[in-house]
Homo-oligomer: A and B are copies of this chain.
């Protein structure tokens, strides 16, 4: 390493601004608030105690009026969907159960009333939703369906003689399942059901359904079960609900998208039932964006802990004069933590961009159909990779901090990991979401193919289209002819070239999608069963293509972020971080890149070596990088970041200094035996 590289210091303030993104102020305010122990996690609680704590924290949040940002000014809100999510992400480190229960109440239940209800319904219910007088349930998922919401079996049948809807779950598979607030606290629910009137099924609509009386007893026809002890988030009272011929007034249909009059006639402003359905699921997109933003922030927290400890902990031998290396000086430890730090920056920048996109659509700044569709695709892919990354980061942080990392009440890794675990199937199973992305990419690809143009295959991929050397015919494609005779230095220069990285990420998506499309084309006109079989055979590869796409998005967001850095040193260091993200990501799929001729065998070797070197080069900056996240001890609340480790080392070394000075230090057996001889 040359000295200029270690002499660089990054500007933590500027980097922090970039990390916190467009709604930095909202995030800082929420972080400040979350330092208050009243909002913190507690350990060793029974489920009942944990639920009580969480409910009380929600009341506190409601009282402090900090959860209304996404709501209209009329209800005390700021009409800032982006600011709302940015703040939401900053509740995680305080107490994930509080955060998610708040998400159920104000992000799902309340949002559904807001986005699907009419003005009268807003006035009637939202004030009580916002001040938590009316805790509610978002009753969409059914036991029999999981991610397949279009086919739910709960019905809402209009009964004209009483001007009422009858909500009914005709069998156990139709019971609503895994619902926050359902087991205990929910007084009402937004229930998603097939709207049937005059014997026509108009598809999934949302209904406001009272659940419990003021004493907390189920109303007639309503019933349920407690989901019990979960893998995490046990502060939330998840449960199942069933409805047996439950009657509600016609006016409880949240009818912004579809209306039923007293004659039972159905009207809608959205003729396409498919589009209506997707608008109905809008709250899920918000959920996915929120989970991505939270997961990225969660990874930053864990790595702050593990890297701070890695910079202090020694497998040290206080008795000897040699001060041993701290863990982070070890090559393996660098790859374990600094690779993941690079990926976490990618996660953060990608999630930030996603929140901006979400804000543009939801605030109406740029609410086109195309933009909504793109938002949906982006949210699906990004949520999947960022939440998986977070679980991986938590596991590595736990292992990298050894036994100390396992003591959850002191260092929290396992507790937070357990709360994050459900993110991988929350608001859509990650694999199902990636399949959605894959299908979208396929459809764009086939349009592109039909049009003979490259415009459609998402904005991100399309950018590169004009200068792509991509070949459609044949299976193996050689995008770059790489000269195998290049020196190591030339290889490194090639690897850190932004355009090279862009090509590698872009071409991988295009090739993988083209390959699946090629496999599907021969059966395009065949029977549904044949199509399904061939799709099935290619499903694994399609999901891989969708992951490649999400990684391209991460790389794009990171590269865009670099351009916004003004301080030259900071930009240089962050460019190394971006390079490490790019190359360690490519390294994990190196077989594919060599197999398809994108990287030569020699360059592959250079890539492995250069990636090791990058991690080592970033090692001196690791602490500054995590410090720039800006978490205080009140956010971290980890023993291992308090300096306790260094104190113990000092104490031990002082002991041995004195012992040696006293002349009473015992002689090692080896020395003694040598003297005996």
B141 engages A231 (CB within 8 Å)? no
Q: Given A144-B318, A399-B430, A415-B231, decide whether A539 and B330 contact each other with a Cβ distance below 8 A.
A: yes
Is there a chain B Cβ closer than 8 Å to A595's Cβ? yes
Closest chain B residue to A401, Cβ basis: B425
State the CA gap A203–B673 with chains docked (Å).
Answer: 13
Q: Given A146-B315, A595-B601, decide whether A172 and B648 contact each other with a Cβ distance below 8 A.
A: yes
Closest chain B residue to A196, Cβ basis: B666
A407 engages B201 (CB within 8 Å)? no
- Chain A binding surface SS class: helix
Is there a chain B Cβ closer than 8 Å to A323's Cβ? no
CB within 8 Å of B: which A371-418 residues: 391, 395, 398-399, 402-403, 405-410, 413-415, 417-418
Which one of B317, B319, B540, B589 lies within 8 Å of A332 (CB-CB)? B540
State the CA gap A233–B532 with chains docked (Å).
Answer: 45
State the CA gap A421–B4 with chains docked (Å).
Answer: 42
A331 engages B612 (CB within 8 Å)? no
Cβ contacts under 8 Å, A537 to chain B: 331, 612, 616
State the CA gap A431–B232 with chains docked (Å).
Answer: 28
Cβ contacts under 8 Å, A594 to chain B: 591, 594-595, 601, 604
Name the residue in A174, A177, A332, A537 with the highest tally of chain B Cβ atoms < 10 Å from its Cβ.
Answer: A332
Q: Given A591-B591, A594-B594, A669-B203, decide whether A408 and B230 contact each other with a Cβ distance below 8 A.
A: yes
Cβ contacts under 8 Å, A405 to chain B: 231, 425
Stretch at the interface among A29-37, A41-49, A63-71, A450-458: A41-49
Stretch at the interface among A114-122, A345-353, A549-557, A649-657: A649-657
Q: Given A148-B315, A332-B539, decide whether A407 and B476 contact each other with a Cβ distance below 8 A.
A: no
B538 engages A230 (CB within 8 Å)? no
Is there a chain B Cβ closer than 8 Å to A11's Cβ? no
What string of 1s and 0s marks CB contacts (under 8 Å) between A132-147 and chain B?
Answer: 0000000001011111
- If A331-B540, A332-B540, A391-B395 are given as contacts, then 5 extra A-B residue pairs at C-beta distance below 8 Å, sorted by A number, are A174-B652, A199-B664, A232-B414, A541-B612, A590-B590
A-B contact pairs, 20 of them (CB 8 A): A44-B46, A46-B46, A143-B648, A144-B649, A144-B652, A196-B666, A200-B666, A200-B667, A200-B668, A203-B669, A230-B406, A230-B407, A232-B406, A232-B414, A331-B538, A334-B540, A587-B591, A591-B594, A595-B605, A596-B601
